[in-house]
Amino acid sequence: MLNKTIETALNKQIRIEAESSQIYLAMAVWAEVKGLEGVANFMYAQSDEEREHMLKLVKFINERGGQAFISELNAPNVTFSSFKEMFEKLFEHEQFVSNSINELVHITLQEKDYTTHNFLQWYVAEQIEEEAVARTILDKINLIGDDKGGLYLFDRDIKQLTVISSAGEPPQK
């Protein structure tokens, strides 16, 4: 049985994961309109993945005797000055999500809820991977600079991007 402190904290994370999905969906739309098909497809997949993260939390809360709460969402930014700025925002957002997950883990330890603590370890590992992917993409973008040919190749190659982080397995696409 979830206590109210844990249930409230998990419901806050549901909102963060839902907003993450919307942020990446907005990025996908922006990239698609700019003709960056590979980047758009990558972002659509990221959006779907964030929704799966949200649903995993919803199911967990409900299975543990709590009630998941689906709240209103903040509207995401829909314009970017460049694809580099967009990926910088993605990286910043992943760091924000990692901090939120870490805070959740801290709360579970304070509340001595080891079941939820164990459940959240999947999210901890996932965030290591998400940050590694974002960091790798930014490194590649910085290598490209303003080279249009490099952007073309990056857009094509992001479809096959695989990063194996210290957390283990490459992210599932």
Looking up tokens 């992917």 gives 133
Does the annotation place 88 within a ligand binding site?
no
Report the distance separating Cα 28 and Cα 36, nearest Å: 9
- What number of residues does the chain have? 173
Q: Enumerate residues 6+ apart whose C-beta is below 8 A from 107.
A: 5, 6, 9
Residue 75 in tokens: 């509207």
Is 126 annotated in a binding site? The answer is no
**32 assigned to a ligand binding site:** no
One-letter amino acid for residue 29 of the chain: V
* Residue 80 token pair: 């970017």
- Known binding residue 94? Answer is yes
127 labelled as ligand-binding?
yes
What residue numbers does the annotated binding site for Fe cation cover?
17, 50, 53, 94, 127
What residue numbers does the annotated binding site cover?
17, 50, 53, 94, 127
